[in-house]
Amino acid sequence: MKNLLIAMVFMALVACGNSLTNKEKQEYATKGNEISQATFKVLSEKLTEQMKLGGPTQAIPFCNVEALPLTQQLSEKFNVTIKRTSDKLRNQQNKPSERELEMINNFHKLISEKQEIKPVVEVDNNNKQHYYAPIILKANCLACHGKVDEFVSVKTDSIINSLYPNDKAIGYNEGDLRGIWSITFE
């Protein structure tokens, strides 16, 4: 009985040590929002530039080569690990962890129940503060993630397939959940 009590107190202490106060959650949510928005801005500015220069034919190979190094540079700048991931992947290097997949499924569920979706902050398995936020598809994403022959031209589709033979990130509608931002604080 005594041992059980000690074990329970110990577990409660460990649990408390791992949880964040509301104030901390709020702070990490604000930081996470800033970092994800800054990353989105860099990626989308570069992408728009390439789209203007040569349409999807030019922009897709650019993303293929540059998206991850750009994200890596921003991770270093903010001293965090920035990841974009999805349940329907284009780039296998963006593969979700088990927890990330749970987050994505949970956001899907909330959307289907017409509930508000907002970023989640928690302490992860590695005892790090972790931020997750939904990535919603916008109209200007459709040229590369929309329905083939409607938004994605047949030519674009064949470029995507040549670079990403296992591509699943196609056929989306505007407003769909495309994936999540997953940011680990150091």
Choose, by CB under 6 A, the member of 36, 39, 59, 185 that binds ligand HEC. Answer: 59
Choose, by CB under 6 A, the member of 140, 158, 161, 173 that binds ligand HEC. Answer: 140
Give me the sheet containing 80-85, strands edge to edge.
80-85, 177-185, 129-136, 120-123
The answer to whether 159 contacts ligand HEC (rule: CB under 6 A) is: no
Choose, by CB under 6 A, the member of 89, 101, 110, 120 that binds ligand HEC. Answer: 89
Question: What's the one-letter identity of residue 58?
Answer: Q
Choose, by CB under 6 A, the member of 151, 179, 183, 185 that binds ligand HEC. Answer: 179
Select the span of 18-26, 101-109, 110-118, 142-150 touching ligand HEC (CB under 6 A). 142-150
Q: How far apart are CA 168 and CA 144, in angstroms?
A: 12
The answer to whether 20 contacts ligand HEC (rule: CB under 6 A) is: no
DSSP state of 172: -
Choose, by CB under 6 A, the member of 28, 35, 177, 178 that binds ligand HEC. Answer: 178
Place of tokens 């296992």: 166
Choose, by CB under 6 A, the member of 25, 27, 64, 176 that binds ligand HEC. Answer: 64
Nearest to 100 by CA among 23, 171, 183, 169: 183
The answer to whether 86 contacts ligand HEC (rule: CB under 6 A) is: yes
Q: How far apart are CA 77 and CA 141, in angstroms?
A: 26
Select the span of 12-20, 31-39, 56-64, 98-106 touching ligand HEC (CB under 6 A). 56-64
Select the span of 15-23, 28-36, 64-72, 122-130 touching ligand HEC (CB under 6 A). 64-72
Choose, by CB under 6 A, the member of 35, 67, 170, 177 that binds ligand HEC. Answer: 67
Residue nearer to ligand HEC on the CB measure, 85 or 129: 85
Q: What is the 3-state secondary structure (H, E, C) of 69-118?
A: HHHHHHHHHHCEEEEEECCCCCCHHHCCCHHHHHHHHHHHHHHHCCCCCC
Radius of gyration in angstroms for the set of CA atoms belonging to the chain, rounded to a whole number: 19
